[in-house]
Amino acid sequence: MAQEQSGNRPGYVAVEIYDQTYYLAGEDTEHIRGLAELVDTRMRAVAAGGRTVDSLRVAVLAALNLADELSQLAQ
């Protein structure tokens, strides 16, 4: 789940995606948190529905799912 950890790095928002912390720069911290939460949720859904435990594979499959949704919206 995405969360802000103030004080760690000024000007950055800390988010947690699939049990890893990332420090991201951007002006709209709420938007960044929302995106991180979307990615985290999708990765956990992919992991729950499959047999892979490799986080890189889970991330790629989640990215493909999100890209598919985006391409369908663009049509």
Q: pLDDT tens string for the chain (75 positions)?
A: 444 444 456 789 999 999 999 999 998 999 999 999 999 999 999 999 988 889 999 999 999 999 999 999 998
Nearest residue to 38 via CA among 63, 21, 11:
63
Per-residue confidence (pLDDT) for residue 1, from 0 to 100? 45
Per-residue confidence (pLDDT) for residue 8, from 0 to 100? 58
Per-residue confidence (pLDDT) for residue 13, from 0 to 100? 96
pTM above 0.95, yes or no: no
**Which residue shows structure tokens 């802000």?**
4
Per-residue confidence (pLDDT) for residue 2, from 0 to 100? 42
